[in-house]
Amino acid sequence: MRRVVAVLLCFLFVFLCGCGVTPAAEIPVQTGGDVALSAQDGVWELQFEFTGMTDAVLDGGTLYVGTGSASMGAVLYEYQLSTGTYTELYRSRFSSSSIYGLQLEDGQLVFYDSDALGPSQDLIHIDLAIGQSEILFSHTDESMFIGLPHTGGGYVSFLQLDNNVGDIALYLYQFGTGRSRIAATFPAASGSAYHGMTDEAVYWCDFSSGKAKIKCFSLETEETVSFPTAFARIENIAIDSGMVYAYAYPDKEDLTQGSVVCFSRGGENTRVLLEEVGWHFQPAGELLATFRNGQPLQLSRLSDGALLSIPELFPSSDCKLSADGRSLLVPTGENTLSILDLEFYREQQP
* Angle in degrees, CA 175, 177, 180, rounded to 5: 75
Out of 153-157, 199-203, 251-255, which region has the weakest mean confidence (pLDDT)? 251-255
For the chain, how big is the Rg over CA atoms in Å? 20
Spatial contact of 132 and 124, defined as CB atoms under 8 Å apart: no
Q: CA 207 to CA 297: how far, in whole Å?
A: 31
Q: Which of 90, 69, 87 is nearest to 78 (CA)?
A: 87
Residue 336 has pLDDT above 90, yes or no: yes
Q: What is the pLDDT of residues 306-329, one digit of tens each?
A: 999 999 999 999 999 998 889 999
- The candidate with the shortest Cα–Cα distance to 320, out of 120, 83, 111, is 111
Is it the case that residue 63 has pLDDT exceeding 50?
yes
- CA nearest to 191, candidates 235, 257, 231: 235
What's phi and psi for 345, nearest 5 deg? -80, -25
Contact 186, 206 (CB under 8 A): yes
Q: Predicted confidence band at 21 (pLDDT cuts at 50, 70, 90)?
A: very low
Higher local confidence (pLDDT), 21 or 313: 313
Give the mean pLDDT of 117-126: 92
Instruction: Find out whether 184 and 224 touch, Cβ atoms under 8 Å.
Output: yes
Residue 74 near residue 98 (C-beta atoms within 8 A): yes
Instruction: Tell me which DSSP letter residue 312 carries.
Output: -
- pLDDT at position 40: 54
With a cut of 90, say whether residue 82 has pLDDT above it.
Answer: no
pLDDT at position 349:
64
- Does residue 125 form part of some domain? no
Residue range 174-184: mean pLDDT, rounded: 93
Residue 175 contacts residue 108 (beta carbons within 8 Å) = yes
Strand 243-249 and strand 259-264: pairing? Answer: antiparallel
Local structure of residue 3 (DSSP, 8 states): H
- Measure Cα distances from 283 to 122, 194, 341 in Å: 28, 16, 14
Q: Is 274 helix (H, G, I), strand (E, B) or coil?
A: strand
CA distances from 284 to 184, 223, 288, 300, 320 (A): 28, 28, 6, 10, 9
Task: Identify whether 308 is part of a domain.
Answer: no
Q: What is the spatial distance between Cα 333 and Cα 325, in angstroms, rounded to a whole number?
A: 22
Percentage of residues of the chain with pLDDT beyond 90: 49
Does 232 map to a domain?
Answer: yes
Cα distance between residue 224 and residue 204, in whole Å:
11
Across 70-80, average pLDDT: 91
42 is a domain residue: no
Query: What would the mean pLDDT of 260-274 be, rounded to a whole number?
Result: 83
For residues 332 and 340, the answer to whether their CB atoms sit within 8 Å is no
Answer yes or no: are the C-beta atoms of 320 and 329 closer than 8 Å.
yes
Reply yes or no on whether the pLDDT at 46 is more than 50.
yes
Torsion of CA 155, 158, 162, 165, to 10 degrees: 90
Full domain range(s) for residue 239: 142-277
Residue 350 has what pLDDT? Answer: 60
Q: How far is C-alpha 112 from the chain's CA centre?
A: 12
83 within some domain: no
More confident residue, 218 or 15: 218
- Residue 50: the pLDDT is 85
Split into its structural domains, the chain has a count of: 1
Mean pLDDT of 72-100: 92
Comparing CA positions, the residue from 157, 156, 179 lying closest to residue 168 is 157
User: What CATH number is associated with residue 156?
Assistant: 2.130.10.120
